[in-house]
Chain A
Amino acid sequence: EVQLEESGGGLVQPGGSLRLSCAASGFTFSSYAMSWVRQAPGKGLEWVSAMSASGDNTYHADSVKGRFTISRDNSKNTLYLQMNRLRAEDTAVYYCAKTISPAAKLPFDYWGQGTLVTVSS
C-alpha cells in the first residue's frame, strides 16, 4: 500500500524557515517524480514544487521561487521542502504527492494527509 507521511509543519514567524519531510513507502520511491501542493485555509489547491525521480530536474511556482527548495533522498525514501523567508501567505496545509512516472510533473495518483504550516507573529 502506498503511503506518504508529511511532517515538519508548525508555527513559524514571518521571515523564518521550516523544512518539511515526506516519508514514502509501498512503492519504489526512486522511480517516480514527486511534488508538493499546498492549500491555504478555505482556499483551493496550489502547485508548489516538483522533482524528477532522479533529482536532476526541479520546478518551482513563481510564488515560491528563490525561497523554497525541493529535494529528495532516494536512499531514505524521503522528499523534502526547505522553506525560507516565509510569509503570511505561505500559511497552508502542505501535501506531498506522487506522480505516475519518473519525469511526469502531473498527475498525482497518491497524496499524503498534509502538514499545516502557519506563518504568524
Chain B
Amino acid sequence: QSVLTQPPSASGTPGQRVTISCSGSSSNIGSNYVYWYQQLPGTAPKLLIYRNNQRPSGVPDRFSGSKSGTSASLAISGLRSEDEADYYCAAWDDRLSGLFGGGTKLTVL
C-alpha cells in the first residue's frame, strides 16, 4: 500500500474534464513539491507536472496540477483518446525517501 494514495481508476468521455487526486501527509506532500507522471502502456513514464503546477515544455495546457495542504490533484481537460494511460503522483518525503502514488488507470470511454 502506497504512502501517497490515488484512486485506482478514473474515466471520462472525449472532451470531458477529469481529475485525479493524490493524498499524502505533512512529511511529503505537505512540505514538498508534487510531481505527476504519465505512463503509456509498455513505455517509460513521462513527466507531466513538476513543482505542483508547472508543465515541462511540450506538455499540452490541457494538463494542470494543483496542491492544497497534504493533497494534490491532476486535472485533464478536453479529454482525448491518447490520454488513456496510467498516472502517478510523486513527492519527496522528509524521512529521506522518494514516494510514488499507487497509480490511477485512466480510461477514455
Contacts and interface: CB of A to CB of B under 8 A. Distances in A.
A113 B35 CA distance: 20
Q: Name which of B47, B91, B103 has the most chain A CB atoms within 10 A of its CB.
A: B47
B44 A107 contact: no
Interface of A: 35, 37, 44-47, 50, 59-62, 95, 100, 105-109, 111-114
What does DSSP make chain B's interface, helix, strand, loop or mixed?
Answer: strand
Interface residues of B, number: 24
Give the 8 A-B CB pairs with smallest separation, nearest first. Answer: A47-B98, A111-B44, A44-B103, A107-B35, A45-B100, A107-B50, A44-B102, A106-B92
A46 B47 contact: no
B90 interface: yes
Interface string B85-96: 010101110001
